[in-house]
Amino acid sequence: MSLLTRVWFLLTHRSFLTLLLIVNVAGTIYGYYWYRYQLQITEPHFLIFVPDSPTASLFFSIAIIGWLLGKNFKLMEALALITLVKYGIWAVVMNLLTLYENGSIDPLAWMLVVSHFMMAVEAIIYIGKYRFTYIHVIIAAIWTLHNDVIDYVYGQFPYYNVVNKYPNHIGYFTFWLSIACIAIGYFAHNRKEYLRKL
């Protein structure tokens, strides 16, 4: 058994997936708690679109539950992959941009850098488990781009001073980050065909 095979066996073992589920559920709960003040003043019809990162980890948690049950919740997998990578990278960039602007960030911000980076990593690591189709990628793409409109046209983006300072530039960056993550979803669906051609 090769090293990669052993690692994949560990990552997909029921015990490890259960631990991963617990971590993601805990992160999801904390994420919604982190957004609590913004959610209190958010209009009801925008509520579902405001807590981006915890909703992404919620999608992944549901996907893990499916794997533990021997099922593939395909739409949840597509949403998890695209949004975990997107918001994982987005939060890392925003906190590092804040570091550049201010010269320092607090320990909580560093925790957000590490945890959001790991969100993106876990989404990529489990590409081999996803079974979603083109239609699931399309639905996830619509959700993701619609969320960008809600954030940057209707001003529902997360409360970061740096985002308030450069909303147009960050909105533009976020749009192309979404496109890149949707492309990752497309690649994930076609990974076997691509690998055969390499």
Residue 111 has pLDDT above 60, yes or no: yes
Task: Copy the structure tokens of residue 146.
Answer: 């619609």
**What whole-number percentage of the chain has pLDDT above 90?**
88
Mean residue pLDDT of the chain comes to 94
* Amino acid 164: pLDDT: 86
The pLDDT of residue 142: 98
Give the distance, in angstroms, between the CA of residue 156 and the centroid of all CA atoms in the same chain.
17
pLDDT tens per residue, range 55-95: 999 999 999 999 999 999 999 999 999 999 999 999 999 99
- 138 confidence band (pLDDT: 50, 70, 90): very high
Q: How confident is the model at residue 103 (pLDDT cuts 50, 70, 90)?
A: very high
DSSP code of residue 50: S
Domain ranges of the chain: 3-197
- The predicted model scores a pTM of 0.94
pLDDT at 149 over 60: yes
Q: CA–CA separation, 159 vs 7, rounded Å? A: 38
∠ CA(163), CA(164), CA(169), 5° rounding?
Answer: 55
